[in-house]
Each structure stands twice: as structure tokens, then as C-alpha cells.
Structure 1
Amino acid sequence: MIKKHEIYKKDKWNMMTVEVQGRYIVLREISDQWGEETHTFMSRPAMMQWVNNRFPKEDYQGNEDEWRQIMNAFKEV
């Protein structure tokens, strides 16, 4: 069974989803700048390490709520 999580969705061109496929975690990031990027992780800790590099807290100075929402969405995966 595949479990799909929506991390965020601003519109159909700026969104991120995570699918749990057995022991793999497949993250799809769609942006109007880069197109679609897919990342496959073997574990949640590996995914969270990528997440912390992709969404550094320093980039969200003054917008900590958005950062917290993104982190919480990943933690629910």
C-alpha cells in the first residue's frame, strides 16, 4: 500500500509530496523553476537530513511559522 503525504501545495506548479512505498520514501518536488525532482530515501532519518539541508531554518527568519509547518508535515510521514 502506498501512503501519500502532501507537504505543501501553493498551486499545481509549486508543491511537494511524499509517498511511502514499502521501505522506500519517495519525495517529489515540483516547482515552476526546476520542474519535477524526485528523491528516494531508504529511511526517515535520511529523509530528515535532506529536509534540514533543503529547508534551513535561517532561510525562514521572520517566517518561522511556515518553516514549522513544513517540518511538522515531514515528521508526520
Structure 2
Amino acid sequence: MIRELIAGGAGVYLVIALTEGILTGSVLLQASAVVALLVLLGALLFGREERLHRAEQTLLWCMVFAIAGYALARIGGVF
């Protein structure tokens, strides 16, 4: 069910990005990049289970380290 929800959300973002790209010519390049990124991530999402699990774990740990880094920067007075 999670895959279907993610795919549905990506589909909505694809439609929004393409609509913005068509209506506003100045963001066409950025909208195309968003579409390409979502297609690439979609290919990863519907791949093998082991590869998907590894990607999920990597992203989870990246987020944990980013939050920890932000907290340390906050404590150090950077922000």
C-alpha cells in the first residue's frame, strides 16, 4: 500500500510540474528536471525488494545524521 501511495503522490507532482512548465516557460527546465528525478526514483521504487530496503535505510540514516548535525550546529551557535 505504501508503494501505491508514493506512486500516487509522485503522479500528482508530475502533473503539477508539467503544468507549471507548460504555463510558465521560464520554469520549463526545472520542471523537466523534477519529472526526470521522479521517474528515476519511481524506477528504484518498483525494483527489487532488497535494493529498495537498502535505499530506504540509507535515506533514513541520512535524515538522522542531518538532524543530529543541525542540532549540533544549533548548540554551537551557528543558527
The TM-score normalised by the length of structure 2 is: 0.35
Of structures 1 and 2, the one scoring higher in RCO (CA 8 A, sep 6+) is: 1
Quick check: which one's helix share is greater? 2
Quick check: which one's strand share is greater? 1
| Higher-Rg member (1/2) | 2
The TM-score normalised by the length of structure 1 is: 0.35
